[in-house]
Amino acid sequence: MRIVPWLGAALVIACAGLSPAWADTVCGPATAALPPVTAAAKALQQVGAKHEDMDTDVSADERKALQAFKQALVDGVEARMACAPASASASALEKDIATALAAVPAEKPAPDSGLAPGFGEELRIGVTGKAAQPELMLIQLGFAIPCGDDNLLLGYRVENGQWRRVLRWQSPDYDSIADAFGAPFNVLPLADGRIGVTHGTPWCTSTWSKFGFDLLQPGVGTTPQRTVFHLDHGYRLDEDLSLTARPDGFELRAEVGMLDTDILMRQGIFRYRVAGDNVERIQPAARNGRDFVDEWLQVEEPLAQAWSDPPAAAEIIKARAGLLKDNPSPAYGAVRSCKGEAGHYQVEMNLGDSGPGLHRYALLRQEPNGFTMLRFGAKADPACTGPDLMRH
């Protein structure tokens, strides 16, 4: 079975035709960068040829060849950007660098040989300039590895009339393909000069994996780049992973796992407010009350407390800790509206087949952008007798 990892629309290239005129007159032929890149690719593919099908481990030889290949790609881009005019457009840079690295156009599907691509095959590139940061040029490089792909991101800004690299973001040296920066690969320049980047992680035998997100500050002058914020979270890798900008920050959405294994998954909402280096998660965190309870049970305790009613927060958090210690996988029951208080709902949890003490009830108040946990315990609220809102 052929595994096709190139699903990310961000890695788009249009490299048909000749490279721009400036490439030959100022930089020399774009193909001058090919020998080192070709040699590094060949070395990677040779050691990768020994890789067993569906093996998720990466050998020491493969790791060494991977790092050499990535460095050859970066060196090739660096050589082309060093002599590119400051006025060069994203499309012109893309065509020239594609020629220099012998990249494969992403819009043209690779011939199906019946085999999954191996290390270093199917090289892709995309160069984009974003309206949010018009002075910054972002270059994305991606290539196949067993069961998926790995990606790099480079950022260049014009300083003193020349392009200067201010960002290099890539996976560290890894001994498992699960640590590669795979598709979907999303890049989001923010208006404050930061860059948000999210990626999936490859795997061979499961549709469950993890995604990673980094909020990056590109280098400025002699100040190097830095990572402002990092997030890892489990998700279903065959579902969409979105990243969007907001006036005060950013938002990610992904299909994530539920504590109730019969329901299995739900949409996770990860909204963050950014103020300087302070990155704060805010609501909404879920699409409905039941999903909010599931997220509230899984987040770290300080955040669960922040999402709870202050007068009752200490008691609520104590009850939460008891549940997670004794029954880490509750089954969700009915979700009912409550009489007398608009926007109040009760979520039932079943902890066993029968018997006393095998139910927990979460009383919620719906807010404009989420929910607040009002009470959490073994007693149902007698006012919450509406029909089950989650019954289909």
If you write DSSP's letter for every residue of 166-187 in order, what string do you get?
A: EEEEEPPP-SBGGGS-EEEEEE
CATH number of the domain that 357 lies in? 3.10.450
Model confidence at 370: pLDDT above 80: yes
Helix (H) or strand (E) holding 63: helix 60-82
Q: Measuring CA to CA, how many Å separate 332 from each of 284, 298, 364, 388?
A: 20, 14, 15, 12
Q: What torsion do the CA atoms of 271, 365, 300, 185 make, to the nearest 10 degrees? A: -20
Q: Are 172 and 110 members of one domain?
A: yes
User: Which contacts of 324-329 are long-range, i.e. CB under 8 A and separated by 24 or more positions?
Assistant: 324/297, 326/351, 327/351, 328/259, 329/259, 329/260, 329/261
Q: Flag whether pLDDT at 14 surpasses 70.
A: no
- State how many domains the chain has: 2
What pLDDT, on the 0 to 100 scale, is given for residue 134?
Answer: 80
Q: Dump pLDDT digits (tens) for 19-71.
A: 455 555 556 777 666 788 999 999 999 999 888 888 899 999 999 999 999 99
pLDDT at 237: 86
Which residue, 232, 267, 282, sits at the end of a domain?
282
* pLDDT of the residue at 29: 73
- pLDDT(345) > 80: yes
Query: Are residues 335 and 262 located together in one domain of the fold?
Result: no
Q: Is 219 a domain residue? A: yes
Residues above pLDDT 70, as percent of the chain: 88
Q: Token pair 């950013």 is at which residue?
A: 250
Q: Are residues 231 and 86 in the same domain?
A: yes
- pTM: predicted TM-score of the whole model, two decimal places: 0.88
Classify residue 294: in a domain, yes or no: no
Residues 219 and 355 in one domain: no
Which is it for the CA torsion 48, 51, 55, 58, positive or negative? Answer: negative
Same domain, 146 and 245: yes
Q: How many CB atoms lie within 10 A of CB 378?
A: 14
DSSP 317-348: HHHHHHHHHH-SSPEEEEEEE-TTSTTEEEEE
Assess whether 258 and 321 both reside in one domain. Answer: no
Domain boundary among 247, 282, 317: 282
360 within some domain: yes
Residue 383 in any domain: the answer is no
What is the rounded distance in angstroms from the CA atom of residue 52 to the CA atom of residue 362?
Answer: 49
In a domain, 392, yes or no: no
Q: Is 365 helix (H, G, I), strand (E, B) or coil?
A: strand
Range of the domain at 360: 309-377
Residue 183 sits in the same domain as residue 316: no
Q: What is the pLDDT of residues 230-262, one digit of tens each?
A: 999 999 988 889 999 999 999 999 999 999 999
Do 187 and 335 fall within a single domain?
no
Q: Are residues 231 and 331 in the same domain?
A: no
In this structure, is residue 314 part of a structural domain?
yes
Quick check: is 14 in a domain? Answer: no
Indicate if 230 and 333 belong to the same structural domain. Answer: no
Checking if the pLDDT of 12 tops 80, the result is: no
Position 168 scores a pLDDT of 98
How far is residue 9's CA from residue 14's CA, in Å, rounded to a whole number? Answer: 13
227 and 316 assigned to the same domain? no
Classify residue 15: in a domain, yes or no. Answer: no
pLDDT confidence bin for 132, thresholds 50/70/90:
confident
Q: Are residues 226 and 345 both part of a single domain?
A: no
